[in-house]
Chains A and B, each alone.
Chain A
Amino acid sequence: MIPHGLKPLLLPAVLIAAFEIWTRVTNMQSDSLAPPSAIAAAMIEALSGGELWTATRDTLASTLAGLAIGSAIGLSLGIALGISNVFNRLMEVTIEAIRPIPSIALLPIALIALGFGYRMEIVIVAFACIWPMLILSRAAVGGIEPRLMEVARVLRLTPADRVRKIVIPAALPRIFVAFRLAASIALIVAVTCEIAINPIGLGASIMAAQQALRADLMLAYLIWIGAIGYLLNAGLLFAQASLFGRAALAGGTP
């Protein structure tokens, strides 16, 4: 019997081995597929060069900047909407109207306004990040135990104090989960912008590899992008566990 810990590794290992054997045996020449060994070689080649790191830096810079701006806006609006029922109801139609617009659709607008480069991408990423943060932090604030809000009233806390001392700490675990979601959206949107049109970052690198008909390099970049996504998410999960411990995870983490 295979020990439980090794089970997850079996399928990928078998697939990779089978793929390697098949490409070598058929002596495949292809623009789209390459043997895993070639991919690994290309990965090493890319990692030791400078381009991969520059591209990674560019993508992460846009991702994090857009995430910061979008989350800040989404969070403030979300908290305000969560606290004030009046504000929430008045803004309903406006939010429901703007929210369904896919962030990518704004790409051409940002393009003609800001041209190629960082700024355009940051704007798109920020727009995409506003919505999950807004919706989920609004829900987090709305889900605060009403008893706590009564305590705030009884203690006669000023609105500012109420937000600082009760609302934010109580809603923080769920807000952090929203932030994690926004972060993965940020990376996806950034890479998508780069693939679609922007000539910087990892998206541009993978497209360039494809256009140069270097399947091994292209797949290496694919794996690298996946790794970045995984590390980003894992890092935030770790932060969440350290900051909030198991109490936060009990609150219905996705």
Chain B
Amino acid sequence: MKHTDMLWRAASFAVAASFIGLWQLTANLKLVSPVFLPGPDKAWAALLRGFSTGDLSEKLLGTLEHMIYGWFAASIVGIALGAAIGSSKAMRDYVAPSLELLRPLPVSAIIPVAIALFGLSQGMALFVIAFGAVWPMLLATIHGFAAVEPRLYEVARTLHMSRLAVILKIALPSASPDILAGMRLSLTVALILSVVCEILAGLDGLGHWVLLSARAFRSADLFAGVILLGVVGYVTATAMSIAERHLLRWRTSGH
């Protein structure tokens, strides 16, 4: 990183630290009741306590499991289905408009249906998370497959490429920027739905932790949980970005 970049980064951290300092001051002066706003020192202590007793780590694992399993299942379905629909003009004409219609539907509205089908269980959560995470990837994959450069299909014809080869060697790589963007969005949706399902169904996870902490007015634990959720969101988003940058390195070169 360049010298000036490092300086800016340091300054930025300093600004963030000053906000935390402001938060600490507000807590110390009890400007807001400590029942609602614990100081950062208390939140930090609660975070450490939670990990040393193993409670928080358990809950963290729970949320991560929900998120990853649901997201993974959704990826397979979303990309496979999206590839099938996107690569055929006929399918696109018949199916895509219905999908577009369903796009503005708030996915959490499927939760009561899932509860009716599966009860308040892990199965319900997995269904909801997978269902919610499928949409961004499905729509992005369809779009990516529909937007493949037609000239490349002509090259494939002259080379006598099999249909499978065309999908694997031309359509999929061409659509990968869109698909990866969809996968990133799906991760966010998966996290949110994990938390909601945990709150609703009392499943083991950070959502459940923050709900219990709120009910017992244990604000420090509550904030520790919220911060941890932020960290999960940040780490997964960053991991996704790194994967994207590596897989799509051919885009940024040159021009």
Asked if chains A and B are in direct contact (CB within 8 A), the reply is: yes
What residues of chain A have their CB less than 8 Å away from a CB belonging to chain B?
Answer: 4, 7-8, 10-12, 30-32, 89-94, 96-98, 100-109, 111-113, 184, 187-188, 191-192, 195-197, 203, 206-207, 209-210, 213, 215, 218-219, 221-222, 225-226, 229-230, 232-233
Q: Which residues of A contact B13 (CB under 8 A)?
A: 93
Encode contact with A along B67-109: 1 for CB under 8 Å, 0 otherwise. 0000000000000000000000000011111100110111111
Q: Out of A91, A100, A107, A197, which one reaches B15, CB within 8 Å?
A: A91
Interface SS of chain A: helix, strand, loop or mixed?
helix
Q: Which residues of A have CB within 8 Å of B64? A: none
A226 touches B199 (CB 8 A): no
A8 to B111, CA, bound (A): 27
Residues of A within 8 A of B206 (CB): 105
Chain B nearest CB: distance from A93 CB in Å?
Answer: 4
Report the separation of the CA atoms of residues A108 and B223 in the bound assembly, to the nearest whole angstrom.
Answer: 10
Of A30, A104, A184, A209, the residue contacting B195 (CB under 8 A) is A104
* Residues on B with beta carbons closer than 8 Å to the beta carbon of A219: 113
Least distance between B43 CB and chain A CB atoms (Å): 12
Bound CA–CA A103/B177 (angstroms): 27
Query: Which stretch, B52-60, B144-152, B162-170, B211-219, touches the partner chain A?
Result: B211-219
| Complex interface residues of chain B between 6 and 43 (CB less than 8 A to chain A) | 8-9, 11-13, 15-16, 19, 35-36
Is B123 in the interface zone, CB < 8 Å from A? no
Q: Contact between B195 and A90 (Cβ–Cβ < 8 Å)?
A: no
Q: Is the interface of B mostly helix, strand, loop or mixed?
A: helix
- The range of chain B's interface size is 35 or more
Contact between A101 and B200, CB atoms less than 8 A apart:
no
Give which listed residue, A101, A106, A222, A232, contacts B110 with CB less than 8 A. A222
Contact between B8 and A109, CB atoms less than 8 A apart: no
Chain A neighbourhood of B242, CB < 8 A: none
Q: Check A100/B98 contact, CB under 8 A, given A93-B16, A105-B195, A195-B112.
A: no
B156 contacts chain A at the CB level, 8 A cutoff: no
A108-B234 contact in complex given A207-B112, A209-B112, A222-B113, C-beta closer than 8 Å: no
CB-based closest 3 A-B pairs: A100-B233, A8-B97, A108-B214
Q: Is the CB of B105 within 8 A of A100?
A: no
Given contacts A184-B104, A197-B199, contact A218 B113 (CB under 8 A): yes
- Report yes or no: B116 in contact with A215, Cβ–Cβ below 8 A: yes
A residues less than 8 Å from B210 (CB atoms): 105, 107-109
12 cross-chain CB contacts under 8 A: A104-B192, A104-B199, A105-B195, A105-B210, A105-B225, A105-B229, A109-B222, A112-B222, A195-B200, A206-B112, A225-B109, A230-B101
B106 and A187 form a contact (CB under 8 A) = yes
Q: Which of B12, B104, B210, B222 has the largest count of A CB atoms less than 10 A from its CB? A: B104
Given A90-B11, A101-B229, A222-B110, A11 and B98 touching (CB < 8 A)?
yes
In the complex the two chains form, what is the Cα distance from A63 to B108 in whole Å? Answer: 15
**B15 contacts which chain A residues (CB < 8 A)?**
90-91, 93-94
Q: A89 and B12: CB pair below 8 A?
A: yes
Known contacts A91-B12, A225-B105, A226-B102: A108-B115 contact under CB 8 Å: no
User: B50 → chain A, closest Cβ, in Å?
Assistant: 15
Chain B contacts of A195 at CB under 8 A?
A: 108-109, 111-112, 196, 200
Q: Closest Cβ of chain A: how far from B121's Cβ, in Å?
A: 14
Residue B203 is within 8 A (CB to CB) of chain A in the complex: no
Flag whether B254 is at the interface (Cβ < 8 A).
no
> A213 to chain B: which residues have CB within 8 Å?
116
Distance of A94 Cα from B98 Cα, bound (Å):
40
Given A112-B219, A215-B116, A218-B116, decide whether A105 and B12 contact each other with a Cβ distance below 8 A: no
Interface membership of B117, Cβ < 8 A:
yes
